[in-house]
């Protein structure tokens, strides 16, 4: 009895390791005209330990990233899960039209890729990739990435210093230096508290007043907002 259980366990273990480790070259390009990305986190993980899941509530770690760009908690989570990762390959912000590269060697069983980075200036917008199955066939694959809303903060579109902490309303920074002040705040009826496709920023045409501190000709975007190129070696 014991032997057969052991045999099954060994067989199962062998089956779960049937996918080989992969060596990946990664390239991320910011496709937007006026949005910066905070430090990127790219993980290779098993079928469970994705960085986020659409149409579910964000974890505190994801909220911390989406509202302030801080990836420390997500990194700790991914480390505990045994994920392989490329953390902050651009060593800071990734400007509009800029690209960054990373290499990632995946361990057996980490067959999926996920990616996150906060989009600035937004309240809790982030560029994301949610559990993309890494192909076993060598080649170069291109994936278009969309903008998500973490669903954790109202999009009031006000730039407020120090608002990067989770739960503090406001946009912590506008790295392009092209946002305004003195807005009264967008009153949004956005009640979707799950992770969803970002509806886009509104902005306005008055940088000293109006509802939003964002500029409607500079800080809007259309999907896709980023492109990920994966070369499987």
Which residue ranges make up the site for other proteins (CB under 8 A)?
Answer: 29, 31-34, 96-99, 176, 178, 200, 202-205, 216-225
Q: How far apart are alpha carbons 225 and 161 in whole angstroms?
A: 25
Cβ 36 to other proteins shortest distance, Å: 12
Q: Which residue has the tokens 């430090």?
A: 39
Choose between 169 and 200: whose C-beta lies nearer to other proteins: 200
Cβ 133 to other proteins shortest distance, Å: 23
Choose between 50 and 215: whose C-beta lies nearer to other proteins: 215
Burial string for 143-177 (b: 16+ CB within 10 Å, else e) reads eebebbbbbbbbbbbbbbeebbebeeebbbbbbbe
Cβ 37 to other proteins shortest distance, Å: 13
Choose between 27 and 194: whose C-beta lies nearer to other proteins: 27
Which stretches within the chain are classed as H helix?
Answer: 2-16, 60-68, 72-80
Are 157 and 204 within 8 A, CB to CB? Answer: no
Choose between 108 and 205: whose C-beta lies nearer to other proteins: 205
* Residues paired with 89 in a beta bridge: none
Cβ 177 to other proteins shortest distance, Å: 10
Choose between 68 and 210: whose C-beta lies nearer to other proteins: 210
Cβ 202 to other proteins shortest distance, Å: 7
Determine whether 109 is exposed, middle or buried from the number of CB atoms within 10 Å of its CB (0-12, 13-18, 19+).
middle
């Amino acid at each position: 009895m014991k032997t057969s259980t052991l045999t099954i366990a060994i067989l199962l273990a062998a089956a779960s390791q049937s996918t080989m480790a992969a060596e990946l070259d990664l390239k991320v390009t910011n496709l937007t005209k006026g949005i910066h990305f905070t430090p990127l986190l790219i993980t290779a993980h098993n079928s469970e330990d994705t960085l986020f899941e659409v149409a579910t509530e964000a974890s505190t770690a994801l909220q911390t990233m989406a509202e302030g760009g801080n990836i420390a908690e997500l990194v700790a989570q991914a480390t505990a899960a045994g994920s392989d990762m490329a953390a902050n390959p651009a060593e800071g912000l990734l400007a509009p039209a800029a690209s960054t590269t990373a290499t990632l060697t995946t361990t057996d069983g980490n067959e999926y890729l996920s990616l996150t980075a906060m989009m600035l200036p937004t309240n809790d917008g982030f560029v994301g990739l949610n559990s993309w199955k890494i192909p076993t066939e060598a080649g170069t694959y291109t994936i278009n990435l969309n903008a998500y809303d973490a669903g954790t903060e109202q999009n009031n579109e006000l730039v407020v210093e120090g608002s990067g902490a989770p739960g503090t309303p406001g946009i912590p920074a506008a790295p392009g230096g092209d946002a305004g002040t003195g807005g009264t705040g967008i009153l949004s009826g956005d009640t979707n508290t799950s992770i969803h496709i970002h509806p886009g920023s509104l902005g306005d045409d008055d940088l000293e007043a109006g509802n939003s501190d964002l500029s409607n000709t500079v800080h809007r975007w259309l999907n896709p907002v980023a492109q990920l190129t994966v070369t499987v070696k």
